[in-house]
Structures are given as C-alpha cells and as structure tokens.
Chain A
Amino acid sequence: MNCTDVRPLLAAFGDGSLSESVRRSVELHLESCRSCQSLLDRQARLKDLLVSSLPLPQPGDVYFERQRARLLEASHAVPAPRGRAFRAWFAAGSLLAASVLLVLYGPTLVQKAERPGTDPLAPRLAAKAPVPAPPPLPGVDHPERKDPSKEPGKEVLNEPLKEKEPVKAPPGPAPAINPKSVTSADPAPPSPAVGTAAPRTGAPPGTAERTVRMTREAVEVALAETPTERVVALCVAAEAQLRELPVVMAKDPTLAAELAGAYRLLVAEGVAGVLGDKAEREEDLAPAREVAARRARDHETTLAALQGEASGALKDRLGLALEASRSLSGR
C-alpha cells in the first residue's frame, strides 16, 4: 500500500473499524511513512475537537414531556398511511384513465374509423395511457396533491379525520349472479359470463350519464380500504367494459376495441398494481389474489368467446385483454 491507498482508510483505521488484513497493511505503511502517521494524529485531534466542542444542549425533562404530549396529539391526527391513499388514487387514476379514454375519444374514434385505411387505435394505444389526476371528491384526502410533511411549519395536524361518506352503488341494473363467484370474501357483485348476463349498453360515450357512472366507479376504487375491496371495485369497472363489448362489437368494432383496451388497463395496471403492492401485508393480499383469480377466470371465458368472433385490430385488443386476465388467473 502507498500513501494514496492508505489515506482514505486512516479515518476507519483510527476507529478500529477495518478488517484485520487491511489494518495490518495500513500499520505496515504507517511504520515507514511519517506523513501518513502525522495525518492520523491530526485526524485523532480533530475528532476529539469535534466531539468535545459540540455538547448537546440540555433542554431538560419538562421540554421532553411537553414535546411528547405534542407529538402524541399530532400522531392521533395522522391520516391513513400515505402509501395506501396513494395506491387507492393510483387505482382510481387507472380507472379514470380508461373512463376518460372512452368518454373523450369514443365518438372521435367512431368518426375516424369510418375513414378507410386508417387505424385510429394504433398510435394511441401503442403508448401507455396517461393516468390523469382524479378530480377532488368530497370526504377524500388528497395526499399526493398536498403533503404537509414536505412543508414543515405548514402541517395541519390537529384536524380531526373526516368520516368517509358511504358510496352508493353505481346506477344501472344489477348484473346476473354467477353462483361460482360468490363468497363472503368477495363483497361486490360477481363477474358476468357471456350468455348469462344481460348485456348492458349503458349511456353512449360522451354523455353526462356515462361520465357520472364512471366517476362513481372511480370513487368506489378510491375509497376501498383493503386490497380485496380495491380489486373488487376495479373488477366491477372492468366487467362493465365486458358487458358492453358483445353489443358494441357488432355495430362498432373500433369502439369495441377501445372497450377491450380499457379492460386491459383496469386489469393489467389497476388490479395487478394492487396485487403487486409490496407495502401491503401478505394476509391482506392473499384474499385479494383469490378474488382476482376467480373473477379473471370468468372474464377469460367471456373474452375468449368474443375473440373467436372478432377480427383485425379488435381481435388483437381482445388478445391483449385476455393475456392480462390470464396473468391474474394464473392460467
């Protein structure tokens, strides 16, 4: 070892925190190098100076007792973990992305599809759909928009937590019940299967009724407390796309392809995102995984049947949707 090698190690050498072999090499060098020995001595004096010159203030027990009371009070106002709120909003964002895609571009795509030789879906669906920030909703915190912890001195810590208002079920007829899907751990309506559920066309894209329905679905996702509830809310929204597909695809393959894309987004980005959340506890994720797999199996039946009838871009989109569904069911 030469001086260049030894100098960066001197601080650790002085602390006795080098490995035995490296320590011996440094010792060997120090025996023959006055310059490094001098640096080691200076560093020792410097460390002494740093420690001895900077004693801690002694605020006393009263200070710590007051601080303790204040911190405990503040801790009671801490909202649900930020990660959970974020994940809820992420899921809601995925849902809204699908909704906005349909509401805004549905009619446009229909018009463009009428032009021969163009595939209006290709450029838009090739890129990952952006996840827009959800609109402010009553009774919901927005931690990603305003994180008080990033602004010391501006925290609003003593506000009581707001009670969440119960969310009403989305309007529209209840889907037919598939007995295989119903369990106590699966609180939402079960998934439809082709041929058993009455197709619901719902309001056409671009209408206020459609926007209201999709916003309600987004609220369901955002307010879900557990991974299972989030998965179910996302599955319900995905199943809404599946219900419309059989009716729409005969009349308008382009719009049907949009619905298939929205389904894929909800499942591949939303449900898979919830299930892959490492911050959640395994005991919370396990039932969510079961629910997702069960519902995905039903979706596969529907999607496979629809894919058999489709052609062109729609067939491709349904293939991607089927792939997303299979990734959940484990098939």
Chain B
Amino acid sequence: MSRVEAGDGTDVELPVLPVDEAPSLRPEDLLERYQRRIYAVIYRMTGVHAEVDDLCQETFLQMVRSLPRFRPGTNLDSWVYRIAMNVSVDHLRRQGKRKKLQEELRSQGASLMATGEALPEETARAVREALEGLPPEQKAVVVLRLYEGLSHEEIAEIVEAPVATVRWRFFSSLEKLETVLEPHVKSGERRS
C-alpha cells in the first residue's frame, strides 16, 4: 500500500510511518502525505471534479478532528482511506441519484447495442456512469481494488467488512458492470 498513483498521475513512494507517530502528525503532515491520494480516491468515487473540492475538505477536516483519537496500532493509510470512503459514500447516498443513472444507463446501453459500436469518449462516459450506478459500498470496493490497487485484505480493513464480503462485492460489481458495459467491452475487443 506504500506505492500509489497520485492525483497528478505520478507515482509517489510513501515512507513507512511508525503507527505511534500518527497522533503527533500536524495537519501539514497529513496534507503532505495524503492530499493527492484523497483527491484521487474521491474523484474516482464521485466522478465529478467540481464536487471533489468540498469532499476533500470534509475528509481532511474529519481527519484533523479525529487524529487525537487515533489508536496506536491502526494502519494510518487504512484510516485515511476509511474516512475518505465514508465521506464519499455518505455523499453518494445523499445524492440519491443512483436510480436515475441506472435508468439512463439502461437506455444508453440499448442504443449502443443497436448501433453495435461505441466511440472512446462514449465509452469513458459509459464507464463513469456505470460506476456511478453501483451501490456506494460496491463502488468503494471497485475503486480501492482497481484504481488504488489495494488487496482484498486491505480493502476489508478499510471498509470494516470480512474479506469474503469484499470478494463478493467485487464479484457482484463486475457482474453488474459487465451487463451495462457489454457493448463497450465487445467494441474494444473488435478494435484490438
């Protein structure tokens, strides 16, 4: 979990942080270490750059508020991911737009099936909307696994669920995504 894609697309090698040091971290240290990673994970969850700013701020302030209660022995990376995910999931739930998006996806999927071809920008949009159509808990697993490259065990720690549950959520997510994105997967296959 120490090598991640940062918000600017570069990889950042993170130093190993002794767990007992966490409570003495200052807000500046937290930003230095996690700002771009928080941006990346929240962007993946929400898919809207304009919303990321507010959610980054909410995440960061929750971290600052919670840091005095950080328990030694807790993985700091997981703790940060957990806060960012909770903020994102709460946000998605508040939005309550999943149903609407799913309806849009169904109609869009039908039209693509009819033409049998999808342009790359259409594919990107479809992927974004397909992810937004997942329940927040499943989306969190997909984002952490595919985009953050975390193992199922690490994800289980972050979302506070058994590993088997995480595997099931991932499998279930892929099934749903495949159904919605089938034309795009096939069209990519033809192009390659």
Residues of A within 8 A of B (CB): 7-12, 15, 17, 42-43, 45-51, 53-61, 64, 67-68, 70-72, 74-76, 78, 81-84, 149, 152-153, 155, 157, 279
Contact = CB atoms under 8 A, between A and B. Distances in A.
Given A45-B188, A49-B185, 5 more contacts: A8-B167, A45-B189, A71-B35, A84-B68, A149-B62
Contacts of A11: 167, 170-171, 174
B172 to A, nearest CB: 8
Contacts of A58: 8-9
A280 to B, nearest CB: 9
B135 interface: no
Of the listed residues A9, A53, A67, the one surrounded by the most CB atoms of chain B closer than 10 A to its CB is A53
A55 B174 CA distance: 19
B49 A71 contact: no
Nearest to B153: A17
A78 B65 CA distance: 7
Contacts of A12: 152, 167, 170-171
The 8 closest A-B pairs by CB, nearest first: A75-B27, A53-B127, A279-B69, A8-B171, A53-B124, A75-B64, A11-B171, A152-B54
A151 B42 CA distance: 17
B131 to A, nearest CB: 7
Nearest to B63: A75
B62 A56 contact: no
A50 B180 CA distance: 12
A56 B69 contact: no
Interface of B: 5, 7-9, 27-28, 31, 35-36, 39-40, 43-44, 49, 53-58, 60-62, 64-66, 68-69, 91, 120, 123-124, 126-128, 131, 142, 145-147, 151-153, 167-168, 170-171, 174, 177-178, 181, 184-185, 188-189
B35 A152 contact: no
B45 to A, nearest CB: 12
B185 A45 contact: yes
A216 B68 CA distance: 29
A56 B54 contact: no
Given A11-B171, A71-B60, A54 B49 contact: no
